[in-house]
A and B are shown apart, each in its own frame.
Chain A
């Protein structure tokens, strides 16, 4: 058993601040939806809006960070081990089978996670931001542009919110399916994940390769070029 530093500082900051922001958005959002009454409609609207802006800033910067650090590659979907991962959750887990996809620094996410997180990043969040944006700015005419009705926007935004709640429930549960019940949670808090001996070999190789490249590229302009490319990518998204 070896400890590996898997989740970087920013990554953990992003994950936990995102979780807080999403929690606030869900609680206030469903109050605005009149699902319950907690802090009052007016307060709910106010907090929901501030939180949404904060979340937007965080998300945009994180996508930027993903590109500058090459972390975006973590989300490239793969079919390799996808079936194996599904069958692990459906049966393997009950037989104490090992996780089919071992964690490495360049591949922290299992194939299912890659798929779901990518979906959230490129589909659910953008839809929520877009509908929220329209909800906020175009409910009344602004410079001649206006929605014929809030209904379509509201329905999409609400559906998205329900999907996020469902995701959170499953996500929270799957935390407990690590090597031990709390090992995933600990890793996301401290950054350090305990990994089986035989898996660490991949990681050592990885680190070696990374270091070699770094040494080779030292003094070259590629570092800066990478950054510029990432910026362009972010600009396109924004």
Chain B
């Protein structure tokens, strides 16, 4: 037996010490590894081949003078035959896609027909909204989506930075754009190409997303660790990989299915931390949750948009325009009141990749209206899960608003907002909500009771960009803490360090208190019982 014990001690003691040391070593190793982040399917900046494969300025067909933008597209398609088919199948062209919504079936969903709580919707105001469409001439319902020369190749492929679309011109370029110069200098889309629409959506920089804005054209690691000019300097399509003009990634403002997404894991793998417990978190916590601790880190984003205050004109009957102390729009007669914020802490929700949408012809069941809603809950996991992965905790920008609705029919209302001229009943020219609502709903051939009011709305934008450097990611006790944790309001599950059962605590404190009091009473009794007590016996000895 003695041998056995010695044998055991000989193994056990060193084992304990080694485990402790090994863990430390592992940490050091992990630290070293972290310097060299584990990546797959990714080419580092240093190893990237940036040489142009084609010099478009050498092509004869691009040397002539282009009468109009359509002619440029014709020239493009002369060599890049069939590419228009890819484009014309894409959501960037159609501004809609067929998506399944749970309980509603296949729904055609997109900017074309879905309302939001920013500029509400494009219908009736196409000519101004389609400045962001990859086409020419979508000024109303009559636009021909099957005409290949209506495609605008240049807005995405321009490398000169001189191509710009005209305001209110249904997607046509400005008069002063030198189409020849631009056509000779085309290439893969860069940040500026994507950014011109995706940074400026909603009528201003960073209005909508909060994590996509002009500062990211040239930014530091602190703003976005991937796009940092001094760092990996990644362009949008480095992550949003594209084949045949099908760009991966989409936003749940306008989609509802769990498909065609861009993930962190596609490069970082599912075990990026070098630590089992952190890696385990990936199962229920989106990478974004810890790694996007704040958004709108350079410029503010719009948090609240209240349309109900719109329409106040100045003394001369002209629209007003006021800014807040930071220079952001505070009040505009045409749009109402705004509240902006920067360095915003996200709100956190369970999300499984499925979203619902308040469709324009759908009855409003509850207020605030959920313009879109992210599906998910803690129990959406294991055998009960709805999609291939369990619901994860996601950081979300929630945009809250107040916008026009029909309180009789209980539907949202699409007001006609824009026209080139006054007197067409558009709100932005004539400031008459009733008329604008009537015109807009009439345009869509939807019922309108003739009564309007303003209703509170909420819209959910899951965050994906402005990933912080690793030192700035959330720490354990940002969530695992009793009070004021990031997940304080996510109450449908037990989170260690945050939650405790009152009953258990009372039981525990009672048990400990009872033990201490018992021991104290016993001690006092021993002392009081004097000479007879063992305690005194001992002191005598």
Contact = CB atoms under 8 A, between A and B. Distances in A.
Interface of A: 9-10, 13, 32-34, 37, 40-42, 45-46, 50, 53-54, 57-58, 61, 65, 68-69, 89, 93-96, 135, 139-141, 144, 146, 148-151, 154-155, 158-159, 161-163, 165-166, 169-170, 173, 176-177, 179-182
Contacts of A50: 19-20, 23
Contact of A159 (B12, B383, B496, B504): B504
23 contacts: A10-B9, A42-B475, A68-B1, A93-B533, A94-B529, A96-B534, A144-B382, A146-B382, A148-B382, A149-B494, A151-B499, A154-B494, A158-B504, A159-B504, A159-B508, A162-B511, A165-B511, A169-B515, A169-B516, A170-B519, A177-B534, A180-B538, A181-B535
B526 A93 contact: yes
B8 interface: yes
B504 A155 contact: yes
Interface string B500-541: 110010011101101110110011011001001111011001
A35 B233 CA distance: 44
A45 B20 contact: no
Contacts of B480: 32, 34, 41
Nearest to B539: A181
Contact of B382 (A53, A68, A69, A141): A141
Nearest to B280: A140
Interface of B: 1, 4-5, 8-9, 12, 15-16, 19-20, 23, 277, 280, 283-284, 378-379, 381-383, 390, 475-477, 480-482, 493-494, 496-501, 504, 507-509, 511-512, 514-516, 518-519, 522-523, 525-526, 529, 532-535, 537-538, 541
A173 B515 CA distance: 10
A187 to B, nearest CB: 15
Contacts of B512: 162, 165-166, 169
A148 B537 contact: no
B538 A181 contact: yes
B283 A94 contact: no
Given A10-B5, A158-B508, A32 B497 contact: yes
A89 to B, nearest CB: 8
A203 to B, nearest CB: 20
Given A68-B4, A139-B280, A166-B514, A94 B525 contact: yes
Contacts of A141: 283, 381-382, 390
A33 B500 contact: yes
B533 to A, nearest CB: 6
Given A65-B5, A159-B504, A41 B532 contact: no
The 8 closest A-B pairs by CB, nearest first: A162-B508, A94-B529, A151-B494, A41-B476, A140-B283, A180-B538, A169-B515, A173-B519
Nearest to B498: A34
Contacts of B515: 165-166, 169-170
A181 B501 CA distance: 39
Contacts, number: 138
Q: Binding site of B, secondary structure by majority: helix, strand, loop or mixed? A: helix
Contacts of B381: 141, 146
Contact of B23 (A46, A135, A139, A176): A46
A32 B496 contact: yes
A68 B5 CA distance: 11
Given A150-B496, A154-B494, A41 B534 contact: no
Contact of B523 (A13, A140, A166, A173): A173
Contacts of A34: 480-482, 497-498, 500
Given A32-B497, A139-B280, A148-B379, A40 B1 contact: no
Nearest to A137: B280
A9 B2 CA distance: 9
Contacts of A40: 476-477
Contacts of A176: 535
B486 to A, nearest CB: 13
A162 B518 CA distance: 16
A61 B522 contact: no
A224 to B, nearest CB: 12
Contacts of B538: 180-182
A181 B481 CA distance: 42
A140 to B, nearest CB: 4
A158 B500 contact: yes
Contacts of B498: 34
A169 B1 CA distance: 33
A180 B537 contact: yes
Given A69-B1, A140-B284, A146-B382, A180 B541 contact: yes
B508 A154 contact: no
Contacts of B4: 65, 68
Contacts of B535: 176, 181
Contacts of B16: 54
A10 B297 CA distance: 61
Contact of A96 (B20, B378, B477, B532): B532
Given A148-B379, A162-B511, 10 more contacts: A10-B8, A33-B497, A37-B477, A45-B277, A50-B23, A95-B529, A140-B284, A169-B519, A170-B518, A179-B534
A72 B388 CA distance: 51
B350 to A, nearest CB: 14
A199 to B, nearest CB: 16
B485 to A, nearest CB: 9
Nearest to B478: A41
A47 B478 CA distance: 20
Contacts of A140: 280, 283-284
